[in-house]
Amino acid sequence: MQASTDRAELRASGAHLPATELLRCRGLVKSFAAVRALRGVDFAIAAGRVRGLVGENGAGKSTLVKIIAGVYAPDAGTFELEGAPMHFSGADDALARRIVTVHQDINLVQTMTVAENLLLNNEPTYGFGIIRRRAMAEKVSQLLRLYEIDVEPDAVVSELPNDLKKMVQIVKGVSLDPKILILDEPTSSLTESEVQVALRLIRRLAESGVGVVLISHYLNEIFAVCDDLTVMRDGEVVADGPVAETNLAQVVTAMVGRHVETHRRAEATPSRAKESSPLMRVEDLSIPGRLDAISFELGHGEVLGVTGLAGSGLGELAKAIFGADASGRLGGRVILDGKTVPPRDPAASLKAGLALITGDRRREGLLLDFTLKENICLPILSRFTGAAGRLDGSAMTEATTRNITRLHIRAPGPEALASQLSGGNQQKVLFAKWLETRPKVFVMEDPTIGIDVGAKAEIRAIIDEIAAAGVGIVLITTELEELVTLCDRVLVMFRGQLVTELTGAAIRRESILHAAACGEELAVPA
């Protein structure tokens, strides 16, 4: 981010505008089955002002935004649009009233050009549906120049890097002439220079009278550009007011609340004590625009947490360590047990003793239409291959049954399809698959994502058991509880860089959240 004077100028530029209330929500309640996502939320959006909306994952931010955008209908509560009672019948109704939402996920049509995406359903025509291509290109060129986006109108979206796709998506929202613009994590995959462009754009929109809602985990951006701030926790608004009347520490405290920490894992026992030399060294892992010279060491039996916000490079780091980066631009090296692991070669990584659980078990981890036996034994088929090249099915069944029992996998048996299992049990199958490779280092990306509380507890126990056996674990996760309860050290990433290391008692939710959101350590009072 820029200096504090620049941040003050960004905010001050809209401070003189009258705060005409555009939208007022009162007492919004929304439940999904037994989960109460919103618990009587009051929320307001004013013309010419930028309101920040922050909270941890699961706080209710996305549900609130989807209600305002007409995607969900609230179970209870009321709306007023410019002082008049309002009911949205759907997303198209909200859009017709110039309430525009730019969602976190990129939802452009990948096979279309930038121009076709920006003017979709709003193309200039000669009549009879014939598009005026030259006029469309000229209009889009003006938009791209105005908002400082360095891309050609005829570029196909699928060929653009994610950061440019994100910028195009933001401009598309702006081009719809919004009265209220809701931006959900708009800068999560942008470079630093693009972040500055996006923040200037947000401020410019507010100056023109648009009411802007900015949802962001990057608290430094919230303080850079927002006039007002709403903090949510557990489906409720826990703080609300002008940004100028609060500070980073107060916001972090409001987000975290009085969370009762689960007991940390026991200190390393002699059986998993660190040896004099590290088990693994990662040296200067780099992917241009994604990872910036990442270096760290991992000890025997150590659980090393790595965390950060969306777009900070966590997924890229997991694949880079395992040699599965598809960009072809990976630099640096991984040294395991004193030997350099051949780069960009997952098979060599597996042979060297590395295992990887990706964050997407359904697309990258398991073959859902295959049996548990086939999934678990796939990485080690050579172990079951006889002289004639025939597989020993009974030995495969025995290995699968052993894992089902060991990991308490709830399944009819080794021949059950992976698709028949719950998410938590699928995740255990994924653990079994890679544990059978007998890894020295286990890289885990969000190992408990999308599973219920009971399964989370079981998998956390498995992680502790693996570490107790001397396996080094790189636990890449955004789950604060896992970082606090499982990890010996925690590294925090911010936009592709490591910005801090926390150890022992310093591994606290507030410290992790502050570093991930601001790119700097939380100052400890003297």
Q: What tokens were used for 487?
A: 């990890």
Distance CA 473, CA 467 (A): 7
Strands 130-131 and 99-102, bridge-based pairing: unpaired
> CB–CB of 194/171 below 8 Å?
no
Confidence (pLDDT) at 276: 63
Residue 2 is predicted with a pLDDT of 35
Percentage helix, strand, coil for the chain under 3-state DSSP, each rounded to 5:
35, 25, 35
Q: Which residues pair with 287 in a beta bridge?
A: 291
How far is Cα 248 from Cα 259, in angstroms, rounded to an integer?
A: 18
What is the percent of the chain where pLDDT is above 90? 47
Give pLDDT, residue 433: 93
Per-residue model confidence (pLDDT) at position 269: 43
User: Is the model's pLDDT at 24 over the cut of 70?
Assistant: yes
216, 222, 224: which is closest to 9 by C-alpha?
224
- 496 CB neighbour count, 10 Å cutoff: 23
Q: Which helix (H) or strand (E) holds 352?
A: helix 346-352
Q: 237-279 pLDDT, tens per residue? A: 999 999 999 988 888 888 877 543 444 555 544 334 445 689 9
Q: Is the pLDDT of residue 357 over 60?
A: yes
Instruction: Give the alpha-carbon dihedral of 183, 188, 189, 190, to 10 degrees.
Output: 70
pLDDT, residue 279, reads 96
Distances (CA, A) of 96 to 61, 70, 87, 207, 309: 23, 11, 13, 22, 33
The tokens describing 468, both together, are 């107790």
Q: HSE (CB half, 13 Å, CA atoms) of 72?
A: 20
pLDDT tens sequence across 373-404:
999 999 999 899 987 788 999 999 999 999 99
Q: Of 228, 331, 312, nearest to 517 (Cα)?
A: 312
Structure confidence at residue 470 as a pLDDT band (50, 70, 90) = very high
| Least confident span in 13-22, 92-101, 130-139, 469-478 | 13-22
In terms of CATH, what superfamily is 270-518?
A: P-loop containing nucleotide triphosphate hydrolases (3.40.50.300)
Domain ranges of the chain: 4-98+178-256, 109-176, 270-518
Least confident stretch, 3-7, 67-71, 133-137, 469-473: 3-7
The per-residue pLDDT for range 359-368, each reduced to its tens digit, is 877 778 899 9
Looking at residue 321, its pLDDT comes to 95
Task: Tell me what pLDDT residue 1 has.
Answer: 33
Q: Are strands 489-494 and 497-503 parallel, antiparallel or unpaired?
A: antiparallel
Q: Which residue carries 């995740």 as its tokens?
A: 427
pLDDT (mean) for 29-44: 89
CA angle 354, 360, 365 (to 5 degrees): 50
pTM for this predicted structure? 0.65
The pLDDT tens digits of the residues spanning 330-339 come to 899 999 999 9
pLDDT of residue 194: 79
The mean pLDDT of 45-51, rounded to a whole number, is: 96
Mean pLDDT of 300-318: 89
Per-residue pLDDT at 521 exceeds 80: no
Q: How far apart are the first and last CA of the chain?
A: 26
Cα–Cα dist 447/456, whole Å: 9
State pLDDT tens for residues 200-236: 889 989 999 999 999 987 888 899 999 999 999 989 9
Q: Please state, rounded to an integer, the average pLDDT across all residues of the chain.
A: 85
**If you average pLDDT over residues 452-464, what whole number do you get?**
80
How far apart, in whole angstroms, are the C-alpha atoms of residue 476 and residue 318?
7
- Quick one: which of 88, 428, 61 has its CA closest to 222? 61
Give me the mean pLDDT over the 314-339 stretch.
89
Determine the 3-state secondary structure of 405 from DSSP: helix
**Which residues have CB under 8 Å from 28's CB, separation 6+?**
38, 40, 41, 42, 43, 64, 67, 74, 76, 77
- Closest by Cα among 370, 358, 362, 300 to 325: 358
Cα distance between residue 257 and residue 235, in whole Å: 13
Pull the structure tokens for residue 265.
């894992």
User: At the fourth CATH level, which superfamily is domain 4-98+178-256?
Assistant: P-loop containing nucleotide triphosphate hydrolases (3.40.50.300)
Residue 439: phi, psi to the nearest 5?
-75, 155
Whole-angstrom Cα distance, residue 433 to residue 431? 5
Whether the Cβ atoms of residue 124 and residue 142 lie closer than 8 Å to each other: no
Residue tagged 């922050």 (tokens): 54
Q: Residue 335's pLDDT is what?
A: 96
CA distance 86 to 66: 16
Sign of the CA dihedral with 18 first, then 20, 26, and 29 last:
negative
Q: Mean pLDDT, to the nearest integer, of 460-486?
A: 91
Candidate from 22-26, 155-159, 312-316, 456-460 with smallest mean pLDDT: 456-460
Lowest-confidence range among 50-59, 126-135, 471-480? 126-135
For the chain, percent of residues with pLDDT exceeding 70? 90
Band of residue 526 on the pLDDT scale cut at 50, 70, 90: very low
Is 510 within 8 Å of 523 (Cβ atoms)? no
pLDDT given for residue 4 in this prediction: 37
Cα dihedral 514, 248, 237, 61 sign? negative
